[in-house]
Amino acid sequence: METVLRVFAAGDKSGSGKIEKPKITAVLKQIDPVTFNDTFISALFGDGNEGLVDLTGFTSWVTGKSESKDFVESPELQDDLEDLDMDTSVVDDMLNKALDKFKELDANGNGELDMTELKALCMWTFQQFGRSFKNDAEKNKAMDKQIKRYKKIGDTWDFDTFESYYLKQMTDIEVYQVKRSEAFEKGYNKSAAAKKFKELDVDGSGFLDGAEVEVFAEWIFSSFHPDGKPLTEEQKKAESKKLLQRLDAKKGNSDGKLSFVEVDFFIDEKIQQIETFKKKAAEREEKQKKKEAEKKAAKEAKAAKKKPEANAMAGLAGATLMEKGQAEEAKEKPAEN
Ligand SMILES: [Ca+2]
Ligand SMILES: [Ca+2]
Ligand SMILES: [Ca+2]
């Protein structure tokens, strides 16, 4: 519970003990988007866009330590919060998520994370922020840099250390998602992924669902199987189910549809992979052509060797022809001047 407070406090750079609406909204939505919905946020802050909440008081209340709601000043807002009938178990859910992640990372199960185990956290973080690398060398360099930062926190991490890092990270990821989502909605994002998403979102709902996900799955499949048979209806359904499972259920908010921020990095990755795939296919074709040309040349050379006389005759004929051509060309040249 104290970790939640520490996370909120980390967001409070001014040290005033108060936190602004956008920051707390991002954190709360990450903890539980259903409980901490817009009704909750407006009960907490009123309907204005600005707003500050006293951190310590809020954390005591949200974690069930205190019933007092005087972290909001207006009695009206206090009444609104009363009406919400808060269930504080959602905060525990968030901490359970942290615990699950910790167990997943603790490969040898000794209750601590060492630097080798933290490499997986490093990769996860890169993924969440959509960092891609040109090659392994570049990736390893970024990883070393990150591990150095982790070492500053501690050579081995117990759950408490991990928990505060993780919750802070989740907040940052959420804030980054909000930014990406806004940039996409306002049309500032001109990336190939944004273009592809718009193309796939036929009804312009801002989400990919139903048949749109099937077209999405089909695009990926056909890009990697340019000469293959198209997917059957059944396969399309199965592939789109897999995509939803992976991007919405496992990594997203499990609402059965795909938002831009649930798929943008994935589309980016696929576009890059498709480009590489096409390049390699073109190289293979080029190589094959070269091989065939060499084979043909070798065959001709072999045939020529077998008939040296014929070859000599042909050579002579060729030379004669060439000489003839040159003589004619020479004849024409003075006329040009
Ligand atoms: Ca361990
Ligand atoms: Ca749609
Ligand atoms: Ca979703």
Instruction: Say if CB 18 and CB 12 are below 8 A apart.
Output: yes
Phi then psi dihedrals of residue 156, to 5 deg: -130, 150
pTM above 0.75, yes or no: no
- Closest ligand to C-alpha of residue 262 is 3
Q: At a CB cut-off of 8 Å and minimum separation 6, what does 133 contact?
A: 139, 142
Which is it for the CA torsion 212, 129, 269, 237, positive or negative? negative
Higher pLDDT, 26 or 296: 296
Distance of CA 185 from the midpoint of ligand 2 (Å): 13
Distance of CA 213 from the midpoint of ligand 3 (Å): 12
CATH of 192-277 given 3.40.50.300, 3.40.50.2000, 1.10.238.10, 1.10.1740.10: 1.10.238.10
Instruction: Say if CB 229 and CB 223 are below 8 A apart.
Output: no
Q: Categorize the per-residue pLDDT at 322 as very low, low, confident or very high, splitting at 50, 70 and 90.
A: low
Distance of CA 257 from the midpoint of ligand 3 (Å): 5
- Closest ligand to C-alpha of residue 258 is 3
Q: Categorize the per-residue pLDDT at 331 as very low, low, confident or very high, splitting at 50, 70 and 90.
A: low
Instruction: Say if CB 200 and CB 263 are below 8 A apart.
Output: no
Distance of CA 93 from the midpoint of ligand 1 (Å): 23
User: Quick one: fold of 92-185?
Assistant: Recoverin; domain 1 (1.10.238)
Instruction: Say if CB 28 and CB 41 are below 8 A apart.
Output: yes
Is the pLDDT at 138 greater than 70, yes or no?
Answer: yes
Is the pLDDT at 39 greater than 50, yes or no?
Answer: yes
At 263-308, the pLDDT tens digits run 999 999 999 999 999 999 999 999 999 999 999 999 999 998 876 6
Point out which residues pair with 53 in neighbouring strands.
19
Equal CATH topology for 92-185 and 192-277: yes
Instruction: Say if CB 192 and CB 271 are below 8 A apart.
Output: yes
Stated length of the chain: 337
Average pLDDT over residues 143-171: 91
Q: At a CB cut-off of 8 Å and minimum separation 6, what does 218 contact?
A: 230, 231, 236, 239
Tell me, rounded to whole angstroms, the distance of Cα 220 from its chain centroid. Answer: 15
Q: What whole-number distance in Å separates Cα of residue 259 and Cα of residue 190?
A: 17
Place of tokens 């293979």: 284
At 166-223, the pLDDT tens digits run 888 887 888 888 889 999 999 999 999 999 999 999 999 999 999 999 999 999 999 9
Instruction: Say if CB 216 and CB 239 are below 8 A apart.
Output: no
The bridge status of strand 18-20 relative to strand 52-54 is antiparallel
Q: Categorize the per-residue pLDDT at 232 as very low, low, confident or very high, splitting at 50, 70 and 90.
A: very high
- Closest ligand to C-alpha of residue 209 is 2
Q: At a CB cut-off of 8 Å and minimum separation 6, what does 94 contact?
A: 4, 30, 31, 32, 167, 170
Residue 303: C-alpha distances to residues 289, 293, 306, 307, 308 (Å)? 21, 15, 5, 7, 9
Mean pLDDT (the chain, rounded): 83
Distance of CA 188 from the midpoint of ligand 2 (Å): 19
At 76-114, the pLDDT tens digits run 777 777 776 666 565 666 778 889 999 999 999 999 999
Distance of CA 158 from the midpoint of ligand 1 (Å): 9
Residue ranges per domain, the chain? 2-87, 92-185, 192-277, 307-337
Is the pLDDT at 61 greater than 80, yes or no?
Answer: no
